[in-house]
Amino acid sequence: MQYVIVGIGGQGILFASKVLGKIALERGESVIGSEVHGMAQRGGSVISHFKVGDYRSPLVMAGEADILLAFDQSEAVRNLHFLKKKGSLVVNVHDRKALENASLAGLVRDREINVHSLEGYALLKEHMGGNFLFLNVLLIGAMCGAGISGLSFAEVSRAVKELSPPKFQDANMKVLALGAEAICSGR
């Protein structure tokens, strides 16, 4: 399984690969991935690669990713070439109108991409007092809810819980469920 996780520096995308890594370790699977640290982290486009299985390279090659987990809709489009045919996109959308584009729709159709979108900022405003730091857990929940990663909610939930600082554990559990439900209910 090959994941590409994209977003903007500061959105906490590194947490997602930590969760995936923890689950793989418990399953006894090999993992390798690549992260962005340093200057590129400061508010710019960021990307994490994560591969579970028998791989040597930490990087996912264009056209090979099973899942693209996008914390930002523009970054999702910019990195769509990483997805393989019939791959799945989980994307946080903040401006649906801005994504209305014939070429994009054509691409999604041609490549048979499964799109799972949620309005993360609106959800966090409604349920978490607008604390957008929870976006990472929300997106992980959404990926889980989409049922595309082969990971059970219980597994993901346990990993997120163990990796959360104690004071955020309860809130993270709530947000994880929120993300999963958002995808299931198509919001």
- For residues 71, 72, 74 and 80, what is the CA-based torsion angle, rounded to 10 degrees? 10
Q: Supply the minimum distance, in Å, between the C-beta of residue 162 and another protein.
A: 7
- Reading the block at residue 168, the tokens are 């955020």
- Reading the block at residue 103, the tokens are 């070429």
Contact (Cβ atoms closer than 8 angstroms) between residue 69 and residue 88: no
**Distance from the first to the final alpha carbon of the chain:** 26
Binding segment toward another protein, per CB under 8 A, in 101-109, 137-145, 147-155, 174-182 = 101-109
Contact (Cβ atoms closer than 8 angstroms) between residue 67 and residue 3: yes
C-alpha–C-alpha distance, residues 126 and 94, integer Å = 14
129 is a site residue for another protein (CB under 8 A): no
Q: What are the DSSP calls for 83-127, one per residue?
A: EEEEEEEEEE-S-GGGG--HHHHHHHHHTTPEEEEE-HHHHHHHH
Q: Supply the minimum distance, in Å, between the C-beta of residue 148 and another protein.
A: 21
Do you know the residue count of the chain? 187
Q: How many residues bind another protein, per CB under 8 A?
A: 59
Contact with another protein (CB under 8 A): which of 26, 112, 126, 170? 26
141 is a site residue for another protein (CB under 8 A): no
Contact with another protein (CB under 8 A): which of 1, 60, 118, 142? 60
Binding segment toward another protein, per CB under 8 A, in 21-29, 140-148, 150-158, 177-185 = 21-29
Contact with another protein (CB under 8 A): which of 59, 115, 171, 177? 59
- Reading the block at residue 34, the tokens are 């690549």
21 is a site residue for another protein (CB under 8 A): yes
121 is a site residue for another protein (CB under 8 A): yes
Q: Supply the minimum distance, in Å, between the C-beta of residue 95 and another protein.
A: 10
The site for another protein (CB under 8 A) is made up of 8-10, 17-18, 21-22, 24-26, 28, 30-45, 50, 55-64, 74-75, 77-78, 80-81, 94, 98-99, 101, 103-104, 106-107, 110-111, 121, 130, 132, 162-163
